[in-house]
Structure 1
């Protein structure tokens, strides 16, 4: 069996399907466990639109983005999406288009390698099939090995999961029922156009902006602390920076907006804040007393999103 052949997962005490004569747990099962133990702090670094990858994985309910590959797979059509039915890792449509999902049931310490493993399996899968590649071997490609780093990553946020439906296949009653159920639970969202990777979200009882920022954590906290101490960390009158949460190695600030604020209404304040933040992060002077207090408060104020 060649090194590039997919090795199916079997029981740990069963013979490894590769034909080595060893038990699975001592052969390819061991390699799969080693791969799962790997941890990458910023798994999407180096991909076009790193912050949007994080947002699609952690913030947005329904969104898609085209993905351009390199090498022999450059002519394949791949669409990255937030979620697929049943939290499937990927599927291949009848026309050969690959749908690659970011929000799945299982994940290891390197989501980019998990996705690379899934994408590689999808490239070999038959049209009209679902893709669930099983344990990831240690030598699986990462997304960065397959994706054109110079391509854009334009995200489209959807009102529902209608992108699940294959236009070349008739959806059965079960599929449409699952779609309706999923759509009923969606969190309305919109990607701001004035800045990168900022998303307006409506949670019913409140509206928020969740913004995945590309800065390293320490200078970003310093910058936010400078702005907070100056009363300049808001997105307009009546808004409030709740705190931050970490996602895929990046810090994500969350603002509460005035009730009823639309995505369009926060575009200009977000652009103005982005300019202030750029200057604040670039400022390397030591923090003063008030700024240090603000920084300590931000570091301790971790937001749990829902």
Structure 2
């Protein structure tokens, strides 16, 4: 018989050594042992909740192709730890010969709690032999439950760098030699599938990315608000005819990813990412104003909300 899967909110888990008979810190009302201490059958819907970097983490996990960011730990150890979208072989972690650590967001396998997976991979890497990689995370890495919220500075943002290719996979050789043919071939294959992606930088805008899929360009914008609150604000804008970024940039829909909503707009491919900074900033101001409104939705706004809800898909 298949194991049952339970949904959880994904708040910070009990620290290592916590009495399993005590209530779970996630707020479910159950004992820790019967909730987040139960093992890998628990699915945490919003694994990065409580972290300022939540939107960036969701973007790295779901759609950024080649990006890295130093991981701001609560207790830095003097060893460089870098978070990456994907590592060679979709490994969960690797330790370079110099001892520096890379953690992968897009991995081969995972448990129901991405936050715990990353913390487990970090713990493995901190104890691993330099020059080794962790191909699998989740059930393959045991021990007391620790989550990213327990090791990451909760108030820190991620200093993300988007790369045009995966050249950062292979640090330059000290003797100047070229990588082995099989390594070079793997790198070439990875580079061939990258979708051009750039951040849209504007005042008050974060986790908004221009993506060129080849046939279309999109803006994908990870939003931190609760879904119902954000959907109501978008509905207000839709009812007023203010949901588009411009006359040529229509709202296409949204997808849910790890407890957050990611609105998507279709863009004119002829315009560079930088040319969307002003339209996105203007939309951000309209959205903030709509989010601040407290009146009940009008009939037109409710119809708009229902129509927007029909354009949503869920990723997990």
- Matched residue of 1:243: which SS? strand
1:190 aligns with 2:194: no
1:75 aligns with 2:78: yes
C-alpha distance in 1, partners of 2:185/2:277? 36
Alpha carbons 1:64, 1:79 under 8 Å: kept:
yes
1:145 corresponding residue in structure 2:
150
- Matched residue of 1:42: which SS? coil
TM-superposition CA deviations, 1:41-89 (whole Å, max 9, x none):
2111222311010001001111111112223x43221110100111111
Normalized per residue, the structure richer in helix is 1
1:281 aligns with 2:291: yes
1:180 aligns with 2:154: no
Matched pairs, number: 275
Alpha carbons 1:238, 1:258 under 8 Å: kept:
yes
2:168 corresponding residue in structure 1:
163
Alpha carbons 2:255, 2:263 under 8 Å: kept:
yes
- Matched residue of 2:263: which SS? strand
Q: Normalised by the size of structure 1, how large is the TM-score? A: 0.85
Alpha-carbon deviation of 1:122? Answer: 0.5
Greater than 6 Å deviation, 4+ residue runs: none
C-alpha distance in 2, partners of 1:160/1:58? 17
C-alpha distance in 2, partners of 1:133/1:122? 12
TM-superposition CA deviations, 1:111-161 (whole Å, max 9, x none):
000111111101111111112465243723111111122333111111111
Give the alignment of 1:40-79 within 5 angstroms: 40-71=44-75, 73-79=76-82
Alpha carbons 1:117, 1:133 under 8 Å: kept:
no
C-alpha distance in 2, partners of 1:267/1:303? 26
Alpha carbons 2:47, 2:114 under 8 Å: kept:
yes
Alpha-carbon deviation of 1:270? Answer: 0.6
Counterpart pick for 1:107 among 92, 106, 110? 110
Counterpart pick for 1:130 among 130, 133, 136? 133
Q: Normalised by the size of structure 2, how large is the TM-score? A: 0.82
Counterpart pick for 2:265 among 231, 251, 255? 255
**Pairwise CA RMSD:** 2.1
**Structure 1: runs of 5 or more not aligned:** 5-31
Between 1:266-275 and 1:159-168, the stretch displaced more is 159-168
1:90 aligns with 2:87: no
